[in-house]
Amino acid sequence: MIYLDNNATTQPCPEVVEAMLPLLRDGYANPSSVHQFGQAAKHQIECARLQVAKLIGAHAREIVFTGGGTEAINLAIRGILATRSDKRHFLTTKVEHSAVLRVAEQLERDGYRVDYVGVDRDGQIDSAEWESKLSDDTALASIIHANNETGVISNMKPLVESAEQRGISVHVDAVQSAGKLPVDLSSLPVSLLSLSAHKFHGPKGVGALFVRRKTRLAPLILGGNQERLLRGGTENVAGIVGMGVAAQLAEQRRTSIEERVCELRNDLDRGICERIPFATVNAQDTPRICNTTNISFDGLGAEAILILLSEAGICASSGAACSSGSLEPSHVLQAMGIEEKLAHSAVRFSLSQYTTRDEIEAVLELLPKLLARLTALSR
């Protein structure tokens, strides 16, 4: 199997699995218990909190563990709005992940005014429109750091600063960027930032929300006193420890991995376009995270391409895994102004530190043959 769907989920690092296994088998104490067994589990959580904080240039006390990236995003948006009942405006963009967009839709049903800022052909947020939509009634603005479908890196610093200058809190969805891009919250004035462990070789079912000190936030889940009353429920100790180890490894290895993976991604882009004349790399000329490419194959359907790839042992996707099964073209590509037929034919390949050159060469060898077969069948 050749796995090129790493924006959906990643293979856990062996070190992550090794760190989790003893806790699943023997370290099962409740971290809220006062006995030594429980306090040993609590200590491991706090060590992981520090590891995650270091990855993004934060303080350990600013990290709240959640059940994943989607929960972290919901806690950020809903938690802020619950403390600001006098403000009824939420600002975001047209290229956000569904975890943000579905919340935004619910906010509209709840009577909030929601604005969605557009992007250009390269997927970059329209800064003039962003500025014009900020208002005294804006409770929160939310920006995706690196797009999960195209890999486009948002030029978010001036957008964040323009909001901050007006006293407006900003949430950043860093689910796809954490561990792949440098994130330093000591120099970026965001109030909230969401992470997911399984996007950087940690386990599924655990995420984190950065909450800058003095930011008022209401909890979504009420129960015990865990996570400074911001997320009730007995902690997933093994998952949190796994996330901590994955964060530490990502911090240590990021630069060397980025260089190698970017070279492989560029070779994949170039090789596909050389071999397949009707292939177009979407957002090719704008900064992208090193592991992601989104390619349209004019005249073919993404679903049919993915089925043939899967039969050949190659895993890819047509966009966000959360949207699989949808017959609608990607909302991200539509927002970029990509023609509908090209949006319908777009396939996302996402690499990881475990992707090899032999795998990329195998894809470049197989893909033209598969598409030739598909073209013949469609005639």
pLDDT (0 to 100) of residue 332: 98
| CATH fit for domain 14-249, picks 3.40.50.2020, 3.40.50.150, 3.40.640.10, 3.30.70.890 | 3.40.640.10
Tell me what pLDDT residue 322 has: 55
Chain segment 191-236, per-residue pLDDT in tens: 999 999 999 999 999 999 999 999 999 999 999 999 999 999 999 9
CATH 3.40.640.10 range(s) for the chain read: 14-249
Tell me the CATH number of domain 2-8+254-378, given options 3.40.50.720, 3.30.1370.60, 3.90.1150.10, 3.40.50.620.
Answer: 3.90.1150.10
Start and end residues for every CATH 3.90.1150.10 domain found in the chain: 2-8+254-378
Low-confidence ranges of the chain (pLDDT < 50): none
Which pLDDT does position 359 carry in this prediction? 98
- What is this structure's pTM? 0.95
Separation between Cα atoms, residue 87 and residue 245, nearest integer Å: 39
> What is the pLDDT, as a whole number, of residue 115?
98
Which runs of consecutive H residues, i.e. helices, occur in the chain? 14-25, 36-55, 69-81, 98-109, 127-133, 156-164, 237-275, 302-311, 331-335, 340-344, 357-378
User: How confident is the model at residue 329, as a pLDDT?
Assistant: 87
Residues counted in the chain: 379
Residue-by-residue DSSP string for 275-340: H-TTEEETTTTS-B-TTEEEEEETTS-HHHHHHHHHHTTEE-BSS-GGGTT--SPPHHHHHTT--H
DSSP state of 55: H
pLDDT at position 289? 97
State the pLDDT at residue 53. Answer: 98
What pLDDT is recorded for position 303? 95
Of the candidates 47, 262, 273, 322, the residue annotated as catalytic is: 322
The pLDDT value recorded for residue 79 is 98
290 is catalytic: no
pLDDT score of 327:
61
